[in-house]
Chain A
Amino acid sequence: AQTVTQSQPEMSVQEAETVTLSCTYDTSESDYYLFWYKQPPSRQMILVIRQEAYKQQNATENRFSVNFQKAAKSFSLKISDSQLGDAAMYFCAYFRNQFYFGTGTSLTVIP
């Protein structure tokens, strides 16, 4: 089975600052998808950003961007200009036929 590792159980960031969440994964496949999901206290999973493995260009969605290093099997999420509403649990996920989730990083935004 594929494994996804998030080595930071908790992170904090000052409002308006930038924070990077780490994620590494293990796979022998060349075609797959990578995701970052946000889970606020409501527990609704919200898609933050998606990256197709065959694309070399890093995905960007407004204040959210990724640093995708395929050879290193690394997929970090950068949140710029952090806002209070960004506080949540963030899950990195690998997808090929099914999702494999990391253990999550709890992000606190300090006013």
Chain B
Amino acid sequence: GAVVSQHPSWVICKSGTSVKIECRSLDFQATTMFWYRQFPKQSLMLMATSNEGSKATYEQGVEKDKFLINHASLTLSTLTVTSAHPEDSSFYICSARETTGYEGETQYFGPGTRLLVL
């Protein structure tokens, strides 16, 4: 099946710094990518929908100025956590929607990025 990668898989940063997380679809084109946040033992919460070449759509309660999303190409979306604080520590997961899908909906998830803000 199709592969989605995320980089880095682990990041530790100091409070106040910015962190960029990359999500790449390795063998398919994705016009739409999704960014999720998952707290321990909880479900995935959609943060934003990233569309190639246009502005991301953020879910209610998600600060767009804090979580900057850029979908510059059909294979790459980035999430930048600006001025990170300890409460931003979480597991961030992206998924990519295959552009030339078959009959149905297919999305592929990245392996996730663990962010720890000290």
A residues near B (Cβ < 8 Å) are 33, 37, 42-45, 47, 50, 52, 91, 95, 98-99, 101-104
Asked if residues B109 and A44 are in contact (CB atoms below 8 Å), the reply is yes
Q: CA of A91 to CA of B36 in the docked complex: distance in angstroms?
A: 14
Q: Does B42 contact A (CB under 8 A)?
A: yes
Asked if residues A99 and B46 are in contact (CB atoms below 8 Å), the reply is yes
Contacts of B109 in A (CB 8 A): 37, 44-45
Closest to A52 in B: B104
Q: Contact partner of B34 among A37, A91, A99, A103, CB < 8 A?
A: A99
Q: Does B23 contact A (CB under 8 A)?
A: no
Q: Contact partner of B49 among A47, A98, A104, CB < 8 A?
A: A98
Q: Contact partner of A101 among B43, B49, B91, B103, CB < 8 A?
A: B43
| CB within 8 Å: A-B pair count | 41
B residues near A (Cβ < 8 Å) are 1, 34, 38, 42-44, 46, 49, 91, 93, 95, 103-107, 109, 111-112
Contacts of B38 in A (CB 8 A): 43
* 12 more A-B residue pairs beyond the given contacts A45-B44, A45-B95, with a C-beta to C-beta distance below 8 A: A37-B109, A42-B111, A43-B112, A50-B105, A50-B106, A52-B104, A91-B43, A95-B105, A95-B107, A98-B34, A99-B44, A101-B43
Q: A33-B105, A45-B93 are in contact. Are A101 and B44 (CB under 8 A)?
A: yes
Q: Contact partner of B111 among A44, A50, A99, A104, CB < 8 A?
A: A44
The 10 closest A-B pairs by CB, nearest first: A45-B109, A101-B43, A33-B105, A44-B111, A103-B43, A101-B44, A43-B112, A52-B104, A104-B43, A95-B105
